[in-house]
Amino acid sequence: MSRPGESGGATERSPVSDEPGGAPAALVIARSPASSSVKPELAPMLDADRRTALQALLVRRAAAWAAAAAPGSAFVAVEGSLDDVAALLPPGVNAFAQEGGEPADVLAAAIARIGRGPLLIAGTDCPRLGADHAAAALGDLAAGSDVVIGATFEGGWYLAGLREPRPDLLTVAPEAWQREGGIALVLRRAAALGAEVAMLRHERLLVTPADAAALLADPLLAPDLRAALSP
């Protein structure tokens, strides 16, 4: 359907529940910059201190996106130090510790904790994530889509939207994800469950030096990201 295009936040606040179709909530799945070996794929171009600073920047940017998309109902599910991430968050964004071991379990637990829809879900690795993506996803959900997917060029997703808090529309076993083609498996699962799916435009994640080079070649790259990635 669509085409898009004090100090810190609070911790461990109980999420607000509401009926589907009300004000949106937004969830960011984030790794603490204090975690060991953040952004290891960028080691050929950035030392450990710069990778830590980059991760902190990406968390701040994703949290700001969530706060703008869902004022008063933005959450960050944190892997690693909760306090370190909470210090990066704008007021009104609430952090809680991730639960579960596998990514699918982490995602399901976080969705269940928030317990409401419409719900937008993103990670921290999509530097181009913006207000247009949120608006397009929420528009599709309001129009009747059950799930909205923003796919990455690498075969995963950078943004998902759920009309209701249904993790079964997104969570798949890691071994199946690797074996059966990533986002295609999520789409087949949604179809099998009878869900209406909408797609957003593809975006590129920031994972490898090639991704960084592609971003640096973009004249519209935000100055803070350009400074963080430049030699």
- The pLDDT assigned to 13 comes to 36
Residue ranges of the chain with per-residue pLDDT less than 50: 1-20, 174-180
- The pLDDT assigned to 209 comes to 97
Nearest of 26, 62, 88 to residue 206 by alpha carbon: 62
- The pLDDT assigned to 170 comes to 85
- The pLDDT assigned to 150 comes to 92
- The pLDDT assigned to 33 comes to 94
As a residue count, the chain comes to: 231
- The pLDDT assigned to 177 comes to 45
155/182 Cα distance (integer angstroms): 6
**Domain extent listing, the chain:** 22-229
What phi and psi values does residue 86 have, to the nearest 5 degrees? -60, -35
Residues 6+ apart with CB under 8 A from 218: none
- The pLDDT assigned to 171 comes to 76
Amino acid present at 216:
L
3-state secondary structure 41-57: HHCCCCCHHHHHHHHHH
186/155 Cα distance (integer angstroms): 11
- The pLDDT assigned to 21 comes to 55
Amino acid present at 46:
L
- The pLDDT assigned to 172 comes to 63
Q: Give the angle 59-64-70 at the CA atoms, nearest 5°.
A: 125
Residues 6+ apart with CB under 8 A from 160: 120, 121, 122, 147, 148, 149, 150, 170
Pick the CATH number of 22-229 from 3.30.2420.10, 3.40.630.30, 3.40.718.10, 3.90.550.10: 3.90.550.10
